[in-house]
Amino acid sequence: MNSSSLAGSWTEQTPIGTVVVYATARGCCRVDLLGHSSRFSQPSLSESDTSHLALQQILEYLFGQRRSFDLPLDETIFTPFQRIVYRMASQIEFGQIRTYGELAQQLEKPAASRAIGGAMAHNPVPILIPCHRVVAADGRLTGYSAADGIQTKKWLLELEGHQVVGEKLV
């Protein structure tokens, strides 16, 4: 994706740090979770209704006022495998958890846990596609691509009612 295809972006400071949302004419295409210590300069893009709506919905979620999202995503940037995995992850409801292995079983490819983990690691729209709801089989919180990494994943899971000690669900 290049900047000429972007229709707009919005930036906001949130409880998990700076969040930047980007959209194309087709829908939201990227959510950057830049963390608390980020230095960010707003790109010179026009503001789009979709990027504004996406950021508004993310803020509602982060403040406990929303449990699901209803906005278009630009899926043209996903590989076919990512599209399938992200759709499965999007079906994980607020407060629910799945493991990489469970998603591999759902996909009917029991050996695909690592590939699913790889797709989650490259999720361009975290929160909107809730990859934070996918954990290791033993409850460990594995990598999260936000600037503050596992701390952000922990915060999001605790927001949804889970208890996390260290880097593991209890």
* Catalytic residue list: 131
User: Cβ(107)–Cβ(85) under 8 Å?
Assistant: yes
103: tokens are 């998603």
User: Cβ(1)–Cβ(77) under 8 Å?
Assistant: yes
User: Cβ(92)–Cβ(133) under 8 Å?
Assistant: yes
21: tokens are 């949302």
β-bridge partners, 20: 11, 32
Distance CA 37, CA 123 (A): 22
